[in-house]
Structures are given as structure tokens and as C-alpha cells.
Amino acid sequence: MTAASVTALAAPAKKPTVAEAERFLADTEERLNKLNNEQARGAWVGSNFITDDTEAIASYFAERYLTASGEAAIGARRFNGLKLPAEAARKLMLLQQTLVFADPKEREQYAQLQAAMNGAYGKAKYCVKKDDGTADACMALGEMEKVLANSREEPKLKEMWLGWHAQSPSYKNKYTEYIALSNKGAKQMGFADTGAMWRAQYDMPPEAFAAEMERLWQQVKPLYESLHTYTRHKLRETYGPDVVPLTGPIPSHLFGNMWSQSWDNLYPILKPKTGASAYDLTKVLEDRKTDATQMTRYAERFYTSLGMQKLPATFWERSLLTKPRDRDVVCHASAWPLNEQDDVRIKMCITPTAEDFTVIHHELGHVYYFLAYNKQPFLFRNGANDGFHEAIGDTVALSITPDYLKKAGLMEQAPEADADVGDLLKRALSKVAILPFAYSVDKWRWDVYAGKTKPDDYDKTWWQLREQYMGMKRPAAMVAGGFDAGAKYHVAADVPYARYFLADMLQFQFHRALCREAGYTGPLNRCSVYDNAKAGAKLQQMLAMGASKPWPEALKAISGEDKIDGGALLEYFAPLKTWLDQQNAAFAAAQKQ
């Protein structure tokens, strides 16, 4: 640590000066940048080569960064109340939104628990038992997800769902310890708990952010309810009234996804009898034997068509794009900046499917955000808020329209205009279905962090929220010591989830703004900004801001609006809402006959 940093941390009695604050910030950013690069490399190795040794390495570097950021947060307090230039004041505010551990042993334990839970999730497998009780074939999460996606055998779906959710109780005690430690770190910085600290990271008081989330949910709730009602009737036709009730929550293993957060795999059951395209992007990709690199090249070409740079050569050399045969990895797709220059990477087990085609466009959104703001100071090298980071790639994915697919050479002829309902329904199965899940995950965690939900009630509260917001229930009775929330990666890895809810709102707002910038005037769902440099320049302008300004200013830079609004999402899906309501009215009328 430099002499200036030591001086700042020591907090001498004399009144601090602006020059001291700026010197402290310069020294702190230099130190944190170096340690962050080291932490990123350790985490990369830990996720790509899962062993006890790499877990220890990841934990070691995470602890070093945690130590330094804690010291910096404490040091920053000395300058609170000092009249500073706006940039310096924002940096000091951002520095203090972190966990701080006064006891080095607690800091070490926190890092170890974090690495252990991430590793346990990545290694978890469900082993089918033979009649004699011995283990037969063991299935990783990806294999189980394929069963949920493709099978229509209800008992098999239930087996896969219960098999995966039986893995997370093994690290429930670690999670409980982790929550207690995390809260200690948050309280050191004056927050009531870690959940309050998370909510404070949105340029508004924690209670205001919670209210904002509820406001947005109420705005889009009618659209979700229409989709849920339609899906209920179709599932009831498929599995029968003994499995799917006419009213009340629906068993969650029937939605084609381990967490019921995306219903894409139900499309064959739900698709309209008329007004649906027969085009199958997955089949096209499979027939062409499209490999992981080619999938990524398609996404890269979208961004370069907007005027953005080609991906660095090191991206192709260092990314993990396919699942290795010889080791365990965390296959959950993620994007990584490993330094402040151009060492950016993807870690994803890509398969030639329509879903992964969308996901790789999404992940490169993170990568191009990294590249756009890498000239910013260290503390501003982030999204305007974490919802922005998730929204960028999803905004681009909204431009995966028939027009784009034709230009990319993946579709020969665009479908008829009346195929819009089918395409909108397909997209709603991910974009609308996830909304209450994305909201309720952190709503659950906020109560866990606040101590309102005790470990014995983890599952009880989890399922109360899923019933209230998602209209779903557990497919079997709860078990003692259960930890169903921990079966979701973002809980085990302690990644805040409100970002995905916000991203779902923001991407439609961004999409509408970019379509306007491109001069497009038709239905919002048919717009693609592919190959439009004007829209690309508008997007790049906002990306380059990073976290240097409060997020409402970044939102205004791209959209002219300074408030998140679900109206763009509702506009995008308006034709679908009309169709769903017509279908539901017909179902209701048939029930009365």
C-alpha cells in the first residue's frame, strides 16, 4: 500500500483536503485494479478446472481483493462530508458500497465459503439408484435439463426436478454461515444487512428501490397473468386434470425448465394452431453442423455491423466455448473481463440451439460493454447499474428477427406477417415468464439477509413467494432441511438477481429507443437494428459511460427517458396480449358449457 493510502486509512485528526481525497482515490484505484485482475484470473481457473486446489486458489485471490476493498471503504469514510468534484464524490460513494470484515479470519472464511458453494454447485450430480440401493448412472445438471426440456412423461419430469433439488441441502449450512458473515460485513459499512446494501447500489435509498421493483411488477403483472392462464389450459390438456388443477398454483416441474423461469421448451405445446411459423432455428443450426466458434462468430458479426470492433484475438484463444470431456466446469454462461485492456472471455458450453444462439448474443453484450468502458477509471468500469449490463445483450437479441436471420443467411424466406403471434409467444415464454421469478428470488433473499426468514423456513418462504408471484407450487411435499433456493446457481454463487428483472424492462426500453434512432416506424416486435450504424453509435455512446454517471443519466443518453418503464415491454407484446385474452375467454366459455 502506498504512503498516501496508509495516511488515509489511519484517519488523522486534521481536516482532510480535496487534494488528499484525490490522491487517495488514485492510489486506491491502482491497487484495486491490480488485485481485481488477479482475482479474476483465480476465479477463471476455479470455474474452469474445478478441484480442491483451484477452489483454494480462487478463494485466496478473492480474499486479497476483499481485504483491499474493505480497507479502501474504511479509508473513504474520512472524506465523507468534504465538498469534492462530482467524479471524486461518486467514486467515494461507490467505494463504500462493499462488505468490510474487521476480523481477517472472518474475511478468509467468507471467501472460502463462497468458493466452496460455487464448487459444490458445479460438481453436483443426481445419481439414479438401482433396486438394491447402489448408484447407477449419475447425471449432471445439463443432462437433467435436457430431460425437462424434451420429455412429456410427468413422472420422469418429477424425478429430474426432485433429483436436482435434493443436491442443494448439502451446502445449506454453508449458505447459512455465509449469510451471517455477509451481514457482518455489510453492517461494518453502516447498512442494516447485505440485502439493504444491494438495494442501495441503485442511486436511491434501499426502501425506494424495493418500492420501484414492486411498481414495475404491478405494471407488467396483467401480461404475465394472461400468459400463465393460457399455459395452464394447455398443460391441463397435456397432462390431465389430475396433474394440473383448474385453479390455484401449478406444479413447477411441468414448465420445461428446472426453475420454471423460462418456458421456451413448452412452445410445441403452446404454439398457435394458425399464425405460427414452421421455421426452426435449432434444426437449421444442427443441419449445418454449426460449431461453438461459428455460433460465436454470428454474434460477433451483429456487433461489428453496428460499428463496433472485432473481438480481440485473445478472446478466441482463451475463451471456453465447449464443455471439456476431461473435467468438471461451471457450464453456466458468463462473460469475463480479466484486465483493463482487452483480455475479455466467454465461459459457456455452447450447443447448436436457438436458445444458445440467443445466449451467445447476450454474453457478447457483456463483452462489448467491457470493451466500451475499459478507458474509464477502475471504479467506473461497470454498468450504469447491474441491470444495464444484463440488458445490453438482451437488447441485441431482440433484433434476432426474421429480417436479421435472412441477412445472416440462416433463413431463406421470412414468414408471413400473421406469424407474429407465434414469434411473440415464443419470446414471451422467456421474457415475460421470467419476470416474477426474477423479482421473487431477491425478494426471498432480502428477507433472508434481514433475518425475517430463518434457515428452518427457507423453503417455506421460497414457495410462498413462488405461489404468490409465479402461480406455482412444489411438485412434492417439502422435506426437512430442504434448500430449494440453493438449487439455483445465483443463490449458491450469491449473485444478486434483481438485475435480471430490471434488464427485462430496460432491454425493451433500449430496443424502442434504438429502433427510433434507426428511423424504424413499424411494429416494435419486427424491428432489427442489425447493420444500422446510427443505432450502433447511440448504443456505444451509452456503453462508454460505464458507471461514471448515475444510471438515470445513462438511460437518458440512450432513450431520452430517466425512469425505467415497463411500457415498452407492454407495447412490444401488445398483439400477443390481445390474442392470449381471446384464447383465455374461449377456454373459460368452454368450461361453462
- Same structural domain, 152 and 56: no
- Same structural domain, 140 and 87: no
Determine, yes or no, domain membership for 451.
no
- Same structural domain, 184 and 64: yes
CA distance 286 to 300: 20
SS3 347: strand
Determine, yes or no, domain membership for 401.
no
CA–CA distances in Å: residue 561 to residues 204, 458, 554: 17, 39, 9
pTM: 0.88
**315: how many CB neighbours lie within 10 A of its CB?**
19
Low-confidence ranges of the chain (pLDDT < 50): 1-11
CA distance 9 to 15: 14
Q: Kindly give, in sequence order, each residue whose CB lies less than 8 Å from that of residue 494, ignoring residues fewer than 6 positions away.
A: 114, 117, 178, 182
Residue type, 46: G
Q: If we measure between CA atoms, which residue out of 386, 357, 399 comes closest to residue 518?
A: 399
- Same structural domain, 105 and 162: no
- Same structural domain, 137 and 14: no
Q: Report pLDDT for 107.
A: 85
- Same structural domain, 82 and 112: yes
Residue type, 170: S
Average pLDDT score, the chain: 92
Phi/psi class of residue 258: alpha, beta or left (left: φ > 0; alpha: ψ in -120 to 50)? Answer: alpha
Where are the strands (E) in 247-391, listed by range?
250-251, 334-337, 344-347
Determine, yes or no, domain membership for 207.
no
- Same structural domain, 10 and 102: yes
- Same structural domain, 110 and 132: no
Determine, yes or no, domain membership for 136.
yes
Q: Report pLDDT for 10.
A: 46
- Same structural domain, 21 and 38: yes
Determine, yes or no, domain membership for 196.
no
Determine, yes or no, domain membership for 82.
yes
CA–CA distances in Å: residue 44 to residues 81, 334, 461, 507: 39, 10, 34, 28
CA 583 distance to own-chain centroid: 32
- Same structural domain, 141 and 80: no
CA distance 122 to 332: 9
Q: How many CA atoms lie within 13 A of 137 on its CB side?
A: 5
Helix residue ranges per DSSP H, 240-333: 267-270, 281-287, 292-305, 313-318
| Bridge partners, residue 347, by sequence | 320, 334
Cα three-residue angle 344-347-348, rounded to 5 degrees: 135
Contact call for residues 161 and 148 (beta carbons, < 8 A): yes
Q: Report pLDDT for 132.
A: 67
- Same structural domain, 14 and 160: no
Determine, yes or no, domain membership for 161.
yes
**Tens-place pLDDT, residues 90-139:** 999 999 988 888 788 998 899 899 889 988 998 899 998 766 666 678 99
**Tens-place pLDDT, residues 503-562:** 999 999 999 999 999 999 999 999 999 999 999 999 999 999 999 999 999 999 999 999
- Same structural domain, 65 and 100: yes
> How many structural domains compose the chain?
2
Q: Report pLDDT for 1.
A: 45
Residues of the domain holding 70? 3-119+176-190
Determine, yes or no, domain membership for 87.
yes
Q: Report pLDDT for 224.
A: 98
